[in-house]
Every structure is written in structure tokens, then in C-alpha cells.
Structure 1
Amino acid sequence: MITGKRWISSLLVIVFVFLVFTQWNKPSEAQADLSQANQFADVLQQKGLTVSEWSIYARETESQSNKSLQKVELELESKLPNFSWTHEKEGSKIVGVRQIGNFKERVVATADSQILKQDGQVYILYQLIGKNWSEKVKNQASNIITKSLSKIFNKKPKIFTCVKGTMGDKLESVLQGMKSDLLKTFHATELEHVKEGAFISVSAYTKQWNDALSVNQKKMNFQMAIRENDVDHKTTVTLGSPIITVEY
């Protein structure tokens, strides 16, 4: 006879096995990690800047092999019916765009062949762009990206994050101080920098994030750019991981 404790233990084992085979073995949905964007936005806001633009890029490390751009286009049009599609670069690139509220989605598929129907390597890039940041914006962005990534990519894509902030003060005399402050905030080690007048750009590495690029045999996963605009007298700070992916 099974005692009460043994019966409960047996039941827990059955429930565990059921969860493994009915839930955990389901194909995982591509979940967008917006923690870096949220961290960048928080840091900029804490330092008195207003988030003016942000961008999330996603791409798989492998290309769509042995497919024609035409076939990929038909697949994307079927999966993303609300996007408007155009051809660029003599047919070797297709671009899909959708405006959804205050967000803009962009999907780019590029082929290594200029022949639309010829099989080859096709690379797909996804981008979501926004103009401000808050907890509500983060949740909305996460929902949009998660749904789109699950339709576009077969595997978990690599995420690139970029956030831009502005303030109305001139920082030319304290560019170096702002640079040092941001490096300290992200516990980052500077690898190289470029300074030209009221502009400074820095490439660095931080152990806060696992992903990194190899540049001159060194790991790099964080970039920043600080610029003062003489026209509107605003200072712009752009943060990117692993690299900055927008104009600054």
C-alpha cells in the first residue's frame, strides 16, 4: 500500500514529467532581452538627459542558406502581412516597414546574389525604433519585438542595443568627465577613443554582459559617443552594446 507521503511524491514526479513533455519541450519563443536598453535609459535619465531615440536590432548568426531572395520575401510577406515591402539595390535587398503607434519596425533581407530567383545566402535583420523610454514603452516594445522575432527567426537572434539621450547644456569643457563617469557607471575598461573638439567616441569592455566582439584581439561590448551641437546647443550622449548602431 502506498502511504500518504509516497503518494504525494509519486504525484509530484508525474506532474514534473508532464510539464517537461508538454511545456518545456515546446519550441521556445524568441524573447527579446531589453535589459540593456532599460539600463542605458535609466543611466541617461539619472544623469539629467532625456531619451530622444532608441533602437533594438536583432539578427541570427547564421544566414538562410540555399534560398532565393524571392522565396524569403514570400515567406516574410506571409508571416508579416502588415508590413509594406520594397526592393532596393537592384533587387538584392528587400525592406519591410511597419509603423505601429509610436514605434517603427523594419525588416531587411539581403542576398549575396543580385538574381532574385537564384538560391544562395540570405541575411535577415530586424529593427525596432522608438523616440522615448518609460516602463510602459519598455513593456510595449517587448511585446512587439517578441511577436515579430518569433515569426522571423528560427533560432534565438543576437540583440544589438542603442539608446540616445539629449540635454540642453553645453558639455565641451567636461566631455572627459562625462566619459569617465559613464565608464565607471558601467564598470567598463576603455580600449580606445577618438576626440575631436566637442566630440568624443569610446570603445570599451565590461564584464556586465557576456556577449562581446573581438577587435584587435581584444573583447569589446560597449560604445559611447558624446557630442555637442553648436546649432541647437544641445549635448547628445549615445550608448550602444556591443556597438553603436545609429548615427551620432
Structure 2
Amino acid sequence: MISMNLVNNLKYILLFCFIVFLFGNNTNAGNKSDPLLLLTDSVKDVEGTIEEWALHTREQLTEEESEDAARFLQTYLSDWKVLFTDKKENVMFTAVHSHGTVQQQVKIVSSGTAGSVAYVLYSVTATDEEEMREFLAKDFESAYSHIFHSTPQVFTCIKGKFDDKLEEVLPNQLSHLLSGWEAEKKEVVSEKDFYSLTAFSDQFSSSLLLPDNEMNVQVGLRKKQEGAGTNFVIGTPIITIEY
């Protein structure tokens, strides 16, 4: 059974990530694919198995700009699959494209409030490392520069598993990751079957301000429901996928 304390902690973490992702300040992340590759190499160095790679980006627009953006994207993404709009969900435009395991999605959504603004949301996911590396090297920067007017921050995440139990991962794999990043712990949520940590490392160029400090990497660890092992999700500057 999952304790109510754990459920409340998870709700707080996911809500914080969602708010920051949608409404936080934009910062330029420099070479935007580097953080994902750094996370990948770091986890492989401690014998973790990565099962998914993800990038998430968003840019705020006015309603007028969003209409122009939708028209441009429909032309620019002519070889993508354009999905029907869903005005009940304030979705103005959605297009998806898949190549191998690499899946891209562009969505324009409205906040649906008086004097509302809109957001262009761009995500990339993959389940094959070589395909993701090839996409980052050949296609990501071009897609990013055409989809967005400015240079919005890129949120990067990986998820997968360690073969060891949670209590073994904490002093071993997690400790080595933090040491390799030269990261300073900022906040910790610890339960019997779950552990979440936020930290700051100079190796990650972008960051977010917390009420009392600054952070730019987040780790979520959860005991596998069946068999030995520990599932992980790691993101910079925060985790933007459910864990």
C-alpha cells in the first residue's frame, strides 16, 4: 500500500513540475542536446538501463501569434500527421511525426482564460539510444529553430531501471551520479519504496529558482512492483514526465 504521505508528496512534486514547465521563465540552454547526452552517459557509467529519452519545450504566444504559428506549422510540417483540434481542451493545433522509435509532437494550446495567452509545446521521445542520438545530431536544432520564435528552455528526461534494490541504489548508483555531477543536494523526499532528490550542478547550464535555493537536476527512484530492481526518472532542470 502507498502511504497518504507519499501520495501527497508525489502530488506536490508533479504539480510543481507542471507549473514551472508551463509558466517558468525561459532561459537559453546553450547546446540544447548536451544535457540529455550527459544524463545518458552518466547513467550508463553506473550500469543503469535507459528505456526512454524525452525532450520537452514550450513557448508563450499571444492569441494572434498562435493563429499565425498554427498556419505556419501546418505548412512547415506538411509531412507530419495533423490531428483534429479539440476546442473543449483548448487545443488549437496538433501534429505528430514518427521515424523509428523517435516520436515528435507539436501542439498549440490556449490557456482558455480572459485575455488568454497560448503556448507552443514541442516534445520528442525515443526508446532507442542510437536513434535519439542521430536525431539530436541531425534534426533537432533545425526543428527547434523553425518551431519557436525565441530560444525557450529545453527540459530533458530519461527513465529506466537499475538492477539493484532501492536501498542499494542510494549509496551506490545515486551517490556516484551526484559525485560525477559534483552536485549539491537541495531537497529530498524519502519513503519506504520511493525516493526523490533535487540538486544543483554546474555541469547543467540552465537552472530554476526554488523559494530558498537554486536547482537544475532532479532524480526520482521507485522500487519495482515485481522482482528486484529500481525504476528511475532523471531530468534537468526538472522532471517533466510522470514518475
Displacement after TM superposition at 1:151 (Å):
1.8
1:87 is paired with a residue of what secondary structure?
Answer: coil
1:72 maps to which of 55, 69, 72? 69
Which residue does 2:47 correspond to in 1?
48
Secondary structure of the structure 2 residue equivalent to 1:43: helix
Look up the equivalent residue of 1:73 and give its one-letter code.
A
1:157 corresponding residue in structure 2: 152
| Other structure's SS at 1:194 match | strand
Q: Is the 8 A contact 1:64 1:121 kept in 2?
A: yes
Q: Which runs of 5+ in 1 are unaligned?
A: 1-29
Size of the alignment, in residue pairs? Answer: 212
Q: What corresponds to 2:15 in structure 1?
A: none
Q: Contact between 2:219 and 2:239, CA under 8 Å: does it hold in 1?
A: yes
1:127-168 CA distances to partner (integer Å, 9 max, x unpaired)? 11011324x63132332222211221122221111111323x
Counterpart position of 2:126: 130
Output the CA distance in 1 between the equivalents of 2:113 and 2:90.
Answer: 5
How far the C-alpha of 1:189 sits from its partner, in A, is 0.8
The CA deviation at 1:224 is: 0.6
In the alignment, which residue of structure 2 is the partner of 1:172? Answer: 166
Q: CA deviation at 1:232?
A: 4.8
Give TM-score, length-normalised by structure 1.
Answer: 0.76
Q: Structure 2: how far apart are the matches of 1:70 and 1:59?
A: 16
SS of equivalent residue, structure 2 residue 206: coil
Aligned to 1:15: none
Structure 2 CA distance, aligned partners of 1:42 and 1:68? 39
* Alignment map for 1:1-248 (pairs within 5 Å): 33-60=32-59, 63-67=60-64, 69-81=66-78, 82-88=80-86, 90=88, 92-93=90-91, 94-113=93-112, 120-134=116-130, 137-167=132-162, 169-177=163-171, 178-248=173-243
Q: Name the CA shift for 1:125/1:142 in 2 (closer, same or farther; >3 Å).
A: farther
| Counterpart amino acid of residue 168 in structure 2 | V
Mapped to 1, the partners of 2:34 and 2:183 lie a distance apart of 17
For residues 232 and 87 of structure 1, do their structure 2 counterparts lie closer, same or farther at Cα, with a shift above 3 Å needed? Answer: farther
Tell me the percent identity: 24
What is the SS of the residue equivalent to 2:129? coil
Post-superposition shift, 1:33? 2.0
Which TM-score applies when normalising by structure 2?
0.77
Secondary structure in structure 2 of the residue aligned to 1:67: helix
The superposition leaves residues 3-26 of structure 1 with CA deviations (integer Å, 9 ceiling, x where unpaired) of xxxxxxxxxxxxxxxxxxxxxxxx
Higher-Rg structure is 1
Aligned partners of 2:154, 2:116: CA distance in 1, in Å? 24
> Which AA in structure 1 matches 2:42?
V
- Give the partner amino acid of 2:125: I
Give the counterpart letter for 1:42 in structure 2. D
Q: Distance in 2 between matches of 1:126 and 1:212?
A: 20
Shift of 1:32: 5.8
Alignment root-mean-square deviation, CA: 2.5
